[in-house]
Amino acid sequence: MAAITVGVTTHNNTQVLGAGFGRASQHTAGSAGTLTSVKFEAPGAVSGPVVTGVIYADNAGVPGALLASSSQVTNVAGGINTLTLTSPLAISNGQVLWIGLQLLTVGFTIYMTASTGTNYRWADTGAPDNPPASLTSQPNQSSIWAVGTSGGQTIRVAWLV
């Protein structure tokens, strides 16, 4: 399968993601397909954070309805972490998505890049909000992306939160 990447997956710095918050960035799918997981990259392992991958619809330039989420994981590995969606998500070419993480407990460090992209953070201490409320604009994007398949090809809708 050939890989298709949408967004930026490189990083040039790290940032601490705080517990009790959700965080997402806006990206446009470059191909129709089905997303099956959210991935992120961390510089080191951390025990104890409760992390959920989330994908939201776009609502006039901000995260809208929750489209998909992963099961919660309670440990973060150094390197790339995969959060499998509880149900695969069919997407269309050109669809605008908000991909991110929800951290219920223990914050941790994640790779990021300086960006002028559209990124938001919100307080979130339970199940993923649908839709998120009280959004705060954020200047940098974390290395987070969604992965799936399209006509036998792997697609990555990347985003840096």
pLDDT value at 46 more than 60: yes
Tokens (6 digits) for 150: 């399209």
* pLDDT (0 to 100) of residue 3: 46
Report the distance separating Cα 21 and Cα 63, nearest Å: 14
Count Cβ atoms within 10 A of the Cβ of residue 99 and give its class: 0-12 exposed, 13-18 middle, 19 or more buried.
buried
Report the alpha-carbon angle 28-30-33, nearest 5.
Answer: 105
Answer yes or no: are the C-beta atoms of 111 and 14 closer than 8 Å: yes
Q: How confident is the model at residue 152 (pLDDT cuts 50, 70, 90)?
A: low
**Residue 160 confidence (pLDDT):** 42
Query: CATH number for the domain including 150?
Result: 2.60.120
Q: State the pLDDT at residue 8.
A: 53
Say how many domains are in the chain.
1
pLDDT tier for residue 40 given thresholds of 50, 70 and 90: confident
Give the domain range for residue 67.
3-160
Mean pLDDT of all residues in 149-157: 57
Query: Do 50 and 115 touch, CB atoms closer than 8 A?
Result: no
Query: For the whole model, what pTM was predicted?
Result: 0.86
pLDDT digits (tens, 9 = 90+) for 50-105: 899 999 999 998 999 999 999 988 889 998 899 999 999 999 899 999 988 888 88
